Structure 1
Amino acid sequence: MGDGTTVTCTTAGTPYKTEFGKKDSPDCGARYSEPSTSRPGGSYHVTATSTWQVTWQVNGGGENGQIPLTRSNAVDVQIAEVQVLN
Structure 2
Amino acid sequence: MLAQQALDKMLLRPPAIGITPKPGGKGVVGLPVYMWTERGPETYGPNTASASAGGVTVSATAKVSRIVWNMGDGATVTCTTPGTPYRAEYGKKPSPDCGHRYSAPSSTTPTGKYHVTATSTWTIDWQATTGQSGQLTETRQSAVDITVVEVQVLN
TM-score, normalising length from structure 2?
A: 0.45
Task: Give the corresponding residue for 2:127.
Answer: 57
Structure 1 residue 52, shift from structure 2 partner: 1.5
- Please give the per-residue CA displacement for 1:9-58, whole angstroms capped at 9, x wherever unaligned: 01112222221101111111112123212322211122211112111224
Distance in 2 between residues matched to 1:74 and 1:84, nearest whole Å: 32
Superposition RMSD on alpha carbons, in Å? 2.4
* Unaligned segments of structure 1, at least 5 residues: none
1:76 to 135, 145, 150: 145
Q: Which runs of 4+ in 1 moved over 4 A?
A: 81-85
Query: What 5-or-longer segments of structure 2 have no aligned partner?
Result: 1-70
Asked if residue 47 in structure 1 is aligned to residue 117 in structure 2, the reply is: yes
Identity between Structure 1 and Structure 2 (%): 64
Question: Which structure features the higher share of strand residues?
Answer: 2
Distance 2:79 2:119 in 1: 10
The CA deviation at 1:82 is 5.7
For residues 38-83 of structure 1, what are the alpha-carbon distances to aligned partners after superposition, in whole Å with 9 as ceiling and x for unaligned?
Answer: 322211122211112111224xx22543221111234433224567
- Output the amino acid matched with 1:44: Y
Equivalent-residue separation in structure 2 for 1:56 and 1:28 (angstroms): 29
- Cα 1:75/1:13, change in 2 over 3 Å: closer
- What CA distance in whole angstroms lies between the structure 1 residues aligned with 2:91 and 2:147? 21
Q: 97, 104, 117: which is aligned to 1:34?
A: 104
- Give the 3 Å change call, closer, same or farther, for CA 18–35 of structure 1 in structure 2: same
- TM-score norm. by structure 1 comes to 0.73
Paired residues, number? 83
Q: Aligned with 1:19: secondary structure?
A: helix
